[in-house]
Structure 1
């Protein structure tokens, strides 16, 4: 069944329990995405139509119960010859396991558990559903402490035939009510009797009635009194013992009349004023209890002889009148009765001996088969006359090799009857987990998930790679998703995104279009839009701007770069040659002349025209480019000192109204020799602005 998909939606995960009638599996509901418990009917009952009919009807009836202390039934179905019931899955233990591990339980815990069971029974009884099989095996305790009663309605499907066929039902005889043991109609009070036994067992760790066979236990329910719980566990308050005594009366009329009444008693029994109340007493013995008859003592020889003589004397006269034949006939009838009585007694003794031989089954002491190989353990148990529960539970158990028994449901030294069933759990090879999908997680998140799966930290490797995914996220993994891996040895390589690969943007300014495109290809970039624009600073046909990356900035591989190509000066620009007159400090003596200028091309700073050593007055042509709203300025330095600055206005040049320029005069040796400076009336010349610039190189 493991791995089977039942009903097209329930994937069987593992077996978690079972009894004489059914096996219980943990499964996953694929449709709703939750774990469920599935009870599957054993194969020996699939041909019993009456049983199947009751099984389904009662399971469907139990599904109508909705209570926090009742295991919910989700679905009832059939697939081929598999009959199953889908129920709520409870993560925890059943009450029988808890009693086995740590009974006797604390009084407060026992009352809390019993009260929740009683509340569930009250709800069921109000819906006309009798459980009929209350026992610790059918009580589940979740990890949150919530009590859940299961198998509602299932016990009702048990017939007189199945009672002798299923060890599960025979095992329930310890919790049968007297009326249940007699086979008469059971009702709500039978459930309360069984609940009293469960409370008794929780508080004492023992059952009230034990016997060598189920029949002997059933007879004790009918005939015998049980030992008071406080005799076994003196820590039990009298108020709690009274609840047990009342719920376990053999006469149903003397028990609690309803689960609600019992629940009310449970809610108050631990109050201070009630804990030491008087022991409950009942006026009359139970009507159904069988009384022991005193043994008939044999009469003494003398007494018998006297009685016989007396009888003989009383009839003496009659005997003397009778003939010998009549006297003989008088003893025939008593002789026949005595013979018949002897025959009956002998027959009864024979029957009792025969039944005893059939009912008394040899006892077997459970051995310890843990740590044995499965084949050896099974052989040893079968030789002792025990039956191995089928199927054997197979799951991985740390510390046990494949095929070794790691658990048996009956402890070593437990005495059971020959033919009893024992369940074995056998370890298998450690199942390898599957690699989760770590992509799109950060490296830290992926590492944490792997560490939680017991992967060694040293075996988690990080490899960077450029990608368009967010920086720091996993884009590849090795091993791949859903690959099986051994956490002890696996090495996981996580490829982490570094973002897009970046490169340094080259300088395209001053390059031709073809040069710029070639430069971009070299570094992995793409030439995008090409825009033409005028420029005072860049020659025609060369790149004047690049966008969106400046030279030296970082760009991603494959990005497009937009360039602007200069078409030269704009139409309104003027090329103007400014004739600058320069004279030495003293005629005939050397003076160092330095000229700087700024115009539309160098509006953000001055341009060094050059230096010249002169001995006489000279005129130097300065080539300027003028633009509206940008004046040209020519600065003159002589012998290291600022001498004069000349401003040439765009409008003056365009209108032909450039001011006259005075030629500075050099010193002639005496003041009387000084003459007025010469005036230059035509200081400059306008040329074609689209013509190539003629730069004067002056040493």
Structure 2
């Protein structure tokens, strides 16, 4: 799948917009020049043919030399990865001539001639640069929104000539427009392009192809053997001068075609002049001394051997000279009846001319101008035509971009033409703009879809966007209104896309000092999970409150995110500690008399009160005593020394750190 791939790190492929037997065409974005381009990529079944690839490159490069307003510009040619050969071309925002014909056939005479003038101008430029298109067909002609015509696929058809037209069914599109000499296997010339142009003009004016068949071979044989049918059979409004262009351009023998495209272009410029409208029908001169026999071939196996066999009777007199004298015809007396017969024939011809011209004007109905009822309602048009002396023929409904619904698009015969009083006038009534089936744009990138819609020949009335949070990737279309498959008129339709903003995000709160029972409510209201990953003592944060979180406060997170927190166990409870105190007791009695002093030691800790003596003894000299205090965290111990009922020491002992 190439959609989304970036060719040469520059051309991002957005959507496949066309293709044929040889290549596929993609709409792409040139990320360097910020413009849309068309990228044609060679199909894989041609990618291993070295000779084909060589000519593909050579011809594509030669096409870059063609700079003309009616020729699609080629910007770049190259290859990437195994078997990817590409051509980057100007992107034409419009449709192919084939699509235009299908939507508007038969084209008006003026429109068809205008398109032909642009085509011949382009082909003339190519021929002047010694490049023959070889594959002119409506599928290779693009029309933009302003009606400008551009030819594409220059040079590519040259490479196609190495493959027989009966190779695959994908060639059927080309065989409808192929010249007899190409069908015969001969070399294509500039006159081959002229033949194809004539077929294209035939199709524009009739809405059909001159030759059809069940296979490429049967169609090619008709190009070889059958004369081009009169297009007036399907479109009587075609002037004789325009039909003559088709007949001359599609002559079987290149000798009788236009000598070059410039001559054809000149004929197109004058064909609608008043003095040419009803000119004599084009006829190929008959050579009495030449007989052309085109072999009848019904087997496809014989197709590539098709050739013209030409037998010219260049020595007719020698055959007569070789006859025995006795077989020579005898001379007869000249008779007068041929003169009489000739005179009678002349009289009959004169009477016929009078019958067709003078007599009808004397005795028949008058020729009157067909009134212009364009843009009138059907009822208004009928009233006007009947008032003018005409009857109403067939009424045909058809879509129209210019004419309002239920109003007249045109008449047959055309407005302004002379028609016999009382004759039928056919009406073409507008059904309004043609509906199109809305594609399914869901699950596609909105940016790519917008580029496609903005490049269409029929833009939507408006394109609206509603952005919502969703599990889909940001920028993806998740809903569209109208729904896919709905028949819509783009010019009257507002299409609304619901586009994902991605998963909803929010700034994570500072959970520090959140009480544990409040975490559940916060997690539930925001669609996240809060996981208690551990508990720790803390000097200042009370027990049951959050000490820390693994996602920093203020971080943008989405629903479904898990945040880990640590809960306080409160201040750590330290164990009681034993503290040994060395007490120095100074003797204050009369040592000479060996006076005895009574000593009392009082202690206060977690096990004893200061009111009860800890130890009682007598001294006659300085003495030291060790006492043990059991002190609890956050408290202090105490000892008191009393000698002869007098307090001599009273100290507090801190809890040891």
TM range (shorter): 0.3 to 0.5
TM-score norm. by structure 1 comes to 0.44
TM-score norm. by structure 2 comes to 0.47
